[in-house]
Structure 1
Amino acid sequence: MRILDIKTFVALARNRHFGRTAEELNTTQPAISSRLAAIEAELESRLINRGDGSFALTADGERVLQSFEAILGDIDQLRGTLQGDAVPALEPLRIGAIDSVSSTWMPHLIDSLHRSFPNLKIELTVDGTKHLIQGMTKGEFDVIFSLHPVLDDGFRSFTSCVLQMVWAGSPKLIDPDRTYSVAELASLPIISFPKNSPPYQMIAPYFHDEQALASKLTSCNSLYAIINLIIDGFGVGAIPAVTIRRELSMGLLHQVQVSKRFPPMHIVASYQASTHQDFIRKVISQARISAARFCASVEPDMAWID
């Protein structure tokens, strides 16, 4: 059996799509199908159930995947030993994260990964939860940090940290010494993330549960743009407190004192559980450490480990 066939099967198991696998390996879909057929014929076993848009490894396919990953890992380790190179088999590492992570502890994680794997290439994509989850299920990421878990087969998720959300406003607009009721807050112009996004879904019940209506609402899909709009006095917004520590300390923003506390935001890590298991476990371990260290470096009521 060729190494090319083994690599093809591992890539196919990760992507769960013949077209994406062909694109990744710079070949055609018929070539991918041919290599899979050759493997199944040689092993005399069906490895993948496919049809009507579905894709799943059989029990034999799961066992073969584990063996193939071990083989590729051994080859990569041997190559690294001969070349004096510590680069893992997975390259580049594709990470996706929402703004609240990229602006807080993501730099710590990237720095720690580079210290552990000096030659590792990392691709970081900052996007919303919806697009990150879609990309993860399409095989475009190895690890993502968002507001919802990836629930498809082949993925695992856990809460990496919790960020406290606060209402923030400019002294141009709000009185920092005043305590606002939910109704009074609803009367102010509010800047939020787009409707149907996870952050918006946290804001809507806040008012609805108190039978209040936020009538002046502006939507924006960028955390940084929202912060700048709030600083300029265009409205108030509910955002993670750790993302505006500098603005709070400089007096550009104030935490709005409210009669009803805003619920915290849980940051969920999701990762590929079926491919490159040893390396991904190391990445996840580093992510847990980076999140914990960041939470320990800020005020306890801003961020914590659940």
Structure 2
Amino acid sequence: MRILDIKTFVALARNRHFGRTARELNTTQPAVSSRLAAIEAELESRLINRGDGSFALTPDGERVLHSFEAVLSGIDRLKGDLQGDMIPALEPLKIGAIDSISSTWMPHFIESLHRNFPSLKIELTVDGTKNLVAGMNKGEFDLIFSLYPVLGDGFRSFTSCVLQMVWAGSPKLIEPDRTYTVAALADLPIISFPKNSPPYQMIAPYFHDEQALASKLTSCNSLYAIINLIIDGFGVGAIPTVTIRRELDMGLLQQVKVAKRFPPIPIIASYQASTHQDFIRKVVDLARLSAADYCADVEPDMAWID
């Protein structure tokens, strides 16, 4: 059995799609099908159930996937030992993150990666959760930090940290000594994250549970733009506290005293666990340490490890 066939099967199990697998491996769909057929013929077992748009590994397919992952991981270790280098053929390392992470502990993580893997090339993409999860499913990322986990064979997820959310506003707009009820907040213009994003979806029940209606609602897909709009007095917003520490210290923004706190948001890390397992585990361990170190340096009620 060829290593190429093994890599193809692992990629196919991860992507759950022949077309995406062909694009990732720079080949054709018939070639992917042919390699799968060769593996099934050699092992005398059906490994994938497919048809009518569905795709699922058979029980034998699950066993074969785990074995193939171990084979590829062993090859990566062998290459690293022979070359005296901890970095496998996975280059560049493709990381995706929402801007709440890119503006907080991501620089610490990147620095840690460069310190441990001096020659590693890294591609960082900052985007919204929906696009990051979709990109991960298409094989465009090795590791992402978003607000939803990536589900499916070959993916692993964990909570990297939890960010406290606070209502913030410009001193031009809010009364600093006033405690705002939910109804009073609903009367203010509100700047929110994009429609259908987790923070946006948390806005509705926050008000509806108190039978209040936030009618003056503006959504924006950039955390930096939201912060600037709030600084300029265009509205108030529920924002991760750690992302506006400087603005709070400078008096550009003030935390709104509220009768009902906005719930914190967990940041979910998802990564490819089906290839380059040893290297990805090292990267994930460094991500955990970077998040923990950052949370230890800020006030405990701003960010923490769950």
TM-score band by shorter chain is: over 0.9
Alignment check: 8 A CA contact 1:156 1:271 kept: yes
SS at match of 2:299: coil
Offset, 1:222: 0.9
Q: Percent identity?
A: 86
SS at match of 2:226: helix
Asked whether 1:247 is paired with 2:259, we answer no
Aligned counterparts of 2:14 and 2:168: Cα–Cα separation in 1: 42
Amino acid at match of 1:52: D
Query: For structure 1, which runs of at least 5 residues remain unmatched after alignment?
Result: none
Aligned counterparts of 2:198 and 2:123: Cα–Cα separation in 1: 24
SS at match of 2:37: helix
Aligned counterparts of 2:153 and 2:263: Cα–Cα separation in 1: 30
Task: Please tell me the root mean square deviation across aligned C-alpha atoms, in Å.
Answer: 1.9
Could you tell me which residue of structure 2 aligns to residue 148 of structure 1?
Answer: 148
Amino acid at match of 2:160: S
Asked whether 1:232 is paired with 2:224, we answer no
Alignment check: 8 A CA contact 2:94 2:141 kept: yes
Aligned counterparts of 2:221 and 2:301: Cα–Cα separation in 1: 26
**1:247-267 Cα shifts (integer Å, max 9, x gaps):** 111111111111221111111
Amino acid at match of 1:142: D
Q: Would the alpha carbon gap of residues 153 and 2 (structure 1) be closer, same or farther in structure 2, given more than 3 Å must change?
A: closer
SS at match of 2:268: strand
Aligned counterparts of 1:79 and 1:277: Cα–Cα separation in 2: 13
Aligned counterparts of 2:287 and 2:82: Cα–Cα separation in 1: 29
Amino acid at match of 2:24: E
Instruction: Name the TM-score, length of structure 1 as normaliser.
Output: 0.93
Could you tell me which residue of structure 1 aligns to residue 87 of structure 2?
Answer: 87
Aligned counterparts of 1:165 and 1:87: Cα–Cα separation in 2: 37
Aligned counterparts of 1:152 and 1:76: Cα–Cα separation in 2: 24
Could you tell me which residue of structure 2 aligns to residue 22 of structure 1?
Answer: 22
Amino acid at match of 2:134: Q
SS at match of 2:162: strand
Q: Which moved more, 1:239-248 or 1:118-127?
A: 118-127
Could you tell me which residue of structure 2 aligns to residue 132 of structure 1?
Answer: 132
Could you tell me which residue of structure 2 aligns to residue 285 of structure 1?
Answer: 285
Amino acid at match of 1:147: L
Offset, 1:89: 4.2
Amino acid at match of 2:196: N
Aligned counterparts of 2:166 and 2:143: Cα–Cα separation in 1: 27
Could you tell me which residue of structure 1 aligns to residue 299 of structure 2?
Answer: 299
SS at match of 1:175: coil
Could you tell me which residue of structure 2 aligns to residue 256 of structure 1?
Answer: 256
Q: Which moved more, 1:229-238 or 1:57-66?
A: 57-66
SS at match of 2:157: strand
Could you tell me which residue of structure 1 aligns to residue 274 of structure 2?
Answer: 274
Alignment check: 8 A CA contact 2:166 2:238 kept: yes
Instruction: Name the TM-score, length of structure 2 as normaliser.
Output: 0.93
Q: Which moved more, 1:16-25 or 1:149-158?
A: 149-158
Offset, 1:19: 0.9
Alignment check: 8 A CA contact 1:73 1:89 kept: no
How many residues in Structure 1 have an aligned counterpart in Structure 2? 306
Amino acid at match of 2:221: N
Amino acid at match of 2:116: S
Offset, 1:107: 1.6
